[in-house]
Structure 1
Amino acid sequence: MNSSAPAPTRLYHVALSPFCRKVRLTLAEKKIEVELVEEKYWEQSPELLRRNPAGKVPVLRHEGKMMPESQAICEYLDETVPQPPLMPRQASERYEVRRLCAWFDDKFNAEVTQPIMHERVWKKVQNLGYPDSATIKNGLKAIKVHLDYMTALLEQRRWLAGNNMTLADFAAAAHLSCLDYISDVDWDRSNTVRDWYATIKSRPAFRSLLADQMPGVKASPQYAELDF
């Protein structure tokens, strides 16, 4: 009997999507080999809609299943590949991780990542015209509040959600890394946040992110530097 080999794990993604990056960090931390496939989600191809009727990335093809939604993917991977753990054992601690993941994926994304990246990157990539300076200015103002909040958390804890690295750290780092690619994080505002990011940036799981190149959008000089 011939048995066909299982399809390789594949991630349909966009390089400068924080949601895709969160999944990539989780896969790399778990040492799960993955094939990366760039997906121009804004074109809403029939193939993408078959993989995810919501028309969004990331979508993970894993063990014969198509799996969309970054948080659900990451928690699935943590449950099925338990080492190293990225979610705590205690329910109250898991709540805090999920709360912070939602903070970055919802509030931070709406106030900072989405408006800045849309104006500086996606308008250029999709030929949507010139960036709106007022929108960028509002995003850069909002990030200061978030950096101050992160500072307050990290002054009480070793990592964002507690004393161990969790998905909350990957969610935050995913968003900040996109903005750092275009040099829109004021690292001088908080040495505490800067040190936290330098620590997570130096992990082996981060290496593939630091190698990303978006055609037509050049990475900032410090983006791939571990000592920045």
Structure 2
Amino acid sequence: MATLFHFPFCANSRFIRLVLAEMGMEPELIEERPWDRRDEFLILNPAGTTPVLVEQGGLVVPGAGLIAEYLDETRGLGLSGRRLLPEATADRVEVRRLLDWFLVKFESEVTGYLVTEKISKRFMTSAEGGGPPDMNAIRAARINVGYHLKYIGYLIARRRWIAGDHLTYADLAAAAHLSCVDYLGDVPWDEDEIARDWYARVKSRPSFRALLADRVPGMAPADHYANLDF
């Protein structure tokens, strides 16, 4: 059995949890708080970031993008029509482009700020960077999420799924990040109905159930968070 080191509200970890569920894999989940910087975890990934996948044979695969590529190389062909990284070169490029958009750009402009300021800081010591949330960072993230939502709506208005006609890594990455922001009630769903309807489709999938069950101790999610019909 593979093992996934993750933080429940690390959006990139959530992306890999969705991927594994879509592939029918049930890894052992070990919650890792990156700010603890445990020696045992740093041996696995000197960068100290989640997620990290460890195969049963001991192979360590760190980082969401690398894990996604690895899983496609080792399991993708066995998924047949459900492969999450398409076979055609041009389609693969588009999925990878959008995967980078959400795992890197969305993370750096939206999710990273909101999760750090609203969730992680609650559990960090002052030496680790904990303390009151930076409201300037939160305001910037709330502004940024609006244009990302519009971009998703723009894509879905022209395609069935974010990267094309089929569900791919791009949809799962986008939904994973939005799920963190949605927990906090910071997604302006009323600004783009197309994007909202797409997200409802994704979060209705069985692979999403575990994410919707996650809770931050002492912090309830937005009222609609686990409602499949909003």
**Residues 98 and 163, structure 2, Cα contact 8 Å, conserved in 1:** yes
**Residues 11 and 180, structure 2, Cα contact 8 Å, conserved in 1:** yes
Q: Give the Cα–Cα distance (whole angstroms) in 2 for the partners of residues 137 and 78 of structure 1.
A: 37
How many corresponding residue pairs? 221
**Residues 22 and 174, structure 1, Cα contact 8 Å, conserved in 2:** yes
Structure 1 residue aligned with 2:216: 214
Q: Give the Cα–Cα distance (whole angstroms) in 1 for the partners of residues 47 and 113 of structure 2.
A: 21
Residue of 44, 47, 51 corresponding to 2:44: 51
Corresponding letter in the other structure for 2:18:
L
1:47-86 equivalence runs, <5 A: 47-64=40-57, 65-82=59-76, 83=79, 84-86=82-84
Corresponding letter in the other structure for 1:103:
W
1:165-180 equivalence runs, <5 A: 165-180=167-182
1:158-197 equivalence runs, <5 A: 158-197=160-199
Residue of 10, 20, 26 corresponding to 2:13: 20
* TM-aligned CA deviation for residue 125 of structure 1: 2.0
Structure 2 residue aligned with 1:29: 22
Residue of 105, 120, 129 corresponding to 2:103: 105
Give the TM-score normalised by structure 1.
0.93
Structure 1 residue aligned with 2:122: 124
Corresponding letter in the other structure for 2:94:
E
**Residues 3 and 56, structure 2, Cα contact 8 Å, conserved in 1:** no
Which blocks of at least 5 consecutive residues in structure 2 are unaligned? none
Q: Give the Cα–Cα distance (whole angstroms) in 1 for the partners of residues 48 and 137 of structure 2.
A: 25
Aligned pair 1:42/2:35, yes or no? yes
Corresponding letter in the other structure for 2:103:
D
Root mean square deviation of aligned Cα: 1.1
Q: Give the Cα–Cα distance (whole angstroms) in 1 for the partners of residues 116 and 63 of structure 2.
A: 20
Which blocks of at least 5 consecutive residues in structure 1 are unaligned? 1-7
**Residues 23 and 74, structure 1, Cα contact 8 Å, conserved in 2:** yes
Q: Give the Cα–Cα distance (whole angstroms) in 1 for the partners of residues 39 and 135 of structure 2.
A: 34
Q: Give the Cα–Cα distance (whole angstroms) in 1 for the partners of residues 190 and 27 of structure 2.
A: 35
**Residues 117 and 133, structure 2, Cα contact 8 Å, conserved in 1:** yes
**Residues 14 and 211, structure 2, Cα contact 8 Å, conserved in 1:** yes
Poorly superposed stretches of 4+, deviation over 6 Å: none
What whole-Å deviation, never above 9, does each CA across 1:65-84 have from its counterpart, x for those lacking one? 11111111112212322212
Structure 1 residue aligned with 2:201: 199
Q: Give the Cα–Cα distance (whole angstroms) in 2 for the partners of residues 217 and 48 of structure 1.
A: 27
Residue of 87, 90, 95 corresponding to 1:89: 87
Q: Secondary structure at the residue paired with 1:25?
A: helix
* TM-aligned CA deviation for residue 169 of structure 1: 0.5
Q: Which shows bigger deviation, 54-63 or 215-224?
A: 215-224
Give the TM-score normalised by structure 2.
0.93
Corresponding letter in the other structure for 1:171:
A
**Residues 125 and 216, structure 1, Cα contact 8 Å, conserved in 2:** no
| Percent identical residues | 46
* TM-aligned CA deviation for residue 28 of structure 1: 0.2
Q: Secondary structure at the residue paired with 1:11?
A: strand
* TM-aligned CA deviation for residue 100 of structure 1: 0.5
Structure 1 residue aligned with 2:143: 141
